[in-house]
Amino acid sequence: MTADLLKKVSPLIFNSFLKIYFGNKQRNVDDKIIAELQQHNNRLDLNKRLIAEQSARLLNTTNTLTEVNNEFRNVDDSLSDKLINLEVQIAENNKVVSAVQDNYESLVIRSELVNQQVVKMVNQQNGVNDNTAASVEKLKKSLITLVSQRADKVVDDLRVEFNAQYEKAKIEQQSITTMAVESLRKEIKSLVYSELGYENIPGAGLFHIPNDAKPWSDAKRYCESKLGFLVELVNRELEVKVKNYVNTKYGISTFWLGARDHHTEGVFRWESSNQLLAYTNWGRGEPNNHANREDCTEFSSGIWNDLDCNESRRFICQSP
């Protein structure tokens, strides 16, 4: 039973093995063929791309050659036109040359006739000949001298005019440069001081008006920290503009001025410049150095007053 079964089963197993073996082998062959076909297709694609690129380059070359050919045609047409114009000009020039030659020949003939007449006159006036030649030579030298002098004068006049124009241009350029630099300086100054809290009082300048009151020295240091100085009312016009502005906008009628007499009693100077006061607006009886301790100056209700520097007052910083 077992032997018979093996006889029947063994061929089946063997046949299955053969199918599997040859089937795998065939599959490997098929895979190899497919891979080769794929490589062939890849090569074909690459060749197609190369052919396409070459075609594009050939097309570009053809277009370039066409453009060059058109340019050559344009150049050829232009050269033809120029050649025609040149031939016309040559013909016209030939006419001019012929006319000049005719005029020259006529001039030579006339000159010869005049020369003959002169020789004849000289032969007839032998006694006057030497004097005439001397007079002609003298006149010739005089004319040369006169022409030379006039030429020198023209050159000198031109030189003077050039120097004047040059100096004028140089001055104008310097003026323009100075104005540009000054304008730029003002713009930068306005920007910087605006960032520091200064505001423009029309017709007066840039000023900073703090909200608190300080003794004179503290107010001075504060203004210096803001790149300024205690306000200096150097003339009546400035005083009126600053007074009206701070009184109208901030309600301030009393504030420190940047003047004191701490070095010499009664001799007040502006602190920032150390200049004597050219303009003052002291109240009646002021400055009086009350109690021998009033060395600083305040503006109060439209007039000036000397005051103890340790007092606290509102103050105004002025930009340089």
276 and 250 in contact (C-beta within 8 Å)?
no
- pLDDT, residue 6, reads 46
pLDDT tens digits along 189-222: 889 999 999 999 999 999 999 999 999 999 999 9
Please determine, for residue 118, whether its predicted confidence score (pLDDT) is greater than 60.
no
pTM of the entire predicted model: 0.49
pLDDT for the residue 51: 61
pLDDT exceeding 70 applies to what percent of the chain? 57
* 258 in Cβ contact with 305 (< 8 Å): no
pLDDT for position 43: 75
Residue 200: strand, helix, or coil: strand
SS (H, E, C) 151-178: HHHHHHHHHHHHHHHHHHHHHHHHHHHH
* pLDDT at res. 134: 66
Instruction: Specify the higher pLDDT residue, 136 or 150.
Output: 150
Mean pLDDT of 126-133: 54
Distance CA 219, CA 299 (A): 14
Share of the chain above pLDDT 90, in %: 40
User: What pLDDT does 202 receive?
Assistant: 97
Opening angle at CA 115, ends 112 and 118, nearest 5 = 155
pLDDT band at 270; cut points 50, 70, 90: very high
Q: If you search the block for the tokens 């209700």, which residue do you land on?
A: 301
